[in-house]
Structures are given as structure tokens and as C-alpha cells.
Amino acid sequence: MHGFAAVVLDFDGLILDTESSALHVWSEVYREHGHELDLGLWQRGVGTHGGFDAWRHLEGLTGGALDRAALGPAIHERHLQMCKAQPLLPGVRRLLEDAAALGLRAAVASSSSRGWVEGWLGRHGIRSLLASVCGRDDVVSVKPAPDLYLKAAERLGVVPAVCVAFEDSPNGVRAARAAGMACVAVPNGVTRGFTFPETDLTVESLAELRLPELLEILGRPAQRGVTSSRRAVRPEANPDLEGAAPGGPSASGGGADGVAPAGPSAPVEGRP
């Protein structure tokens, strides 16, 4: 018996690939202003909120203030249209359906705003499979602090120790582990090159293992801390990653919300 009672999923980059879209849009904006976006700096904001201010950084490179009032809405719209074209990431719906069939409760814990997350969950018809959605509006500190995961467990009516978290970023993994949850890392096209802290299991996608099989692996302590034997995680080609400089911290964040919320300070982060 695996002993787990709930699953808690990140959103950006785990349920919907908003992170690649955000990175792509901001890479274009940098190039339009004669510069390349430094991936090492971008990493600071992935999986958290406010970890990297792309506006301020680009203004520093150009030596002058950008017209945020004019550029902001256009950047946001470009990002939004790319997100609208994205399907759910592989295995997401099946995992939630498996959780329901097994009697496990499910929640989302995201450093994005709750409205951002709720809108996409509704658009893709999976909100009814989740008992709760926790966003940055619900806590004092976002990932890598454990607050979001602790809040999710509280709302699900379970202790963190019986929850399995699913994360695509180093900041998210740190948050889940700090909350006392088992954690499965699912790196995506943006975060596969990042250095992750120790996890209980790493898989290439949520489609790789059915939830009962995954829970069985997590329930065997000797199997924890490994990459799925079925298929090792491999980097995928991403033109925005190939063109980005590797400077900055090697792994201090993960997630498209790294560039602050919609608004004059940073209209596109992945999580308006």
C-alpha cells in the first residue's frame, strides 16, 4: 500500500506550457532591442514570482526607459495567444482522472495568480477534477517557500506527508520538499537544462507512468531519488535556450512567472 492521500500539481510548465511561451516572447523582445536574453538570469524567476524583472534588466542593457505603457499590452497579447494555442501537457488529464479513480484528492499550487490558473483550468475542462486551486493570492510567500504546498494540504484536509507534489522547476521542488511532501520532477523544454535539487523521482512527462505505478514506486523507499528506468530525461531542442547565454546562477528558479505579473512593471511573465 502506497499510503498517499492526495496529489498536488504545479501549473505553469507542468499542466500547461506557458513557460516556453513566456521565454519565447521575451527572447523576441530582447532581440528587437538588440540584445539576447540571458537564460541564467531568466532561471531566477522560473517557478516563483518576482525573481527576475525583465523590464528593468532590459532597460539596463539599453540604457534608457522603455515605453512600458505601449509595449506591455502587446507583449502580454503575444504571450496570451501562444498560450491559447497550447494543449494540456501529456498525461495531465489522465493523472487527474487516475487520482479520482483511486480516491485521491487533487489540488494545484502555483506561484501565479489564482485567476490566471483558474481561467486555463476552466478552458481545458479539468477544473472539476481538482478540489482546490492555490495561487500567490493565497499566501504570504511563494515558491521556493513551502507556503503554497502547505496551504494546498490544509485545504485538502490532509497532512503534507501523505501528498505527492509534481513540479517542473527547481524552485517548485524546493517548495514541495520544504513542505514535507514527496516530489516528482517533470522537467520541461525550458527547465530540462536546469540543475534540480534531489527529488523522489524524475520522469520525462506525466504520460510516462500511470499514477498507480508511480505511487507504487514512491512507496518503495529504495526506489526514491531515481530517474524513471523507462526513459531517462533528455534535453529537447529549444531555439530560445540555444541562443541564450548561460550566465547567472545555475539553478535558482523555474517557471514562466519569473518576470512578474501583468501590469506596468512586467506584463508577460507566464502568469499575469
Q: What's the topology of domain 6-17+89-227?
A: Rossmann fold (3.40.50)
pLDDT, residue 39, reads 80
Given the residues 10, 17, 53, 168, select the one marked as catalytic: 10
Where is pLDDT greater, at 12 or 19?
12
Mean pLDDT of 38-63: 81
pLDDT, residue 227, reads 62
State pTM to two decimals: 0.79
Given the residues 12, 38, 200, 240, select the one marked as catalytic: 12
Where is pLDDT greater, at 255 or 167?
167
**Share in percent of the chain as helix, strand, coil (round to 5):** 45, 10, 45
As beta bridge partners, residue 88 has 16
SS3 145: coil
Distance CA 156, CA 185 (A): 22
Q: From residue 152, give the alpha-carbon distance in Å to each of 112, 163, 233.
A: 14, 10, 28
> Residue 127 — pLDDT band, cuts 50, 70, 90?
very high
Residue 256 scores a pLDDT above 60: no
Structural domain boundaries in the chain: 6-17+89-227, 18-85
Mean pLDDT of 169-187: 97
> Residue 228 — pLDDT band, cuts 50, 70, 90?
low
Residue 15 scores a pLDDT above 70: yes
> Residue 248 — pLDDT band, cuts 50, 70, 90?
very low
Annotation says 12 is catalytic: yes
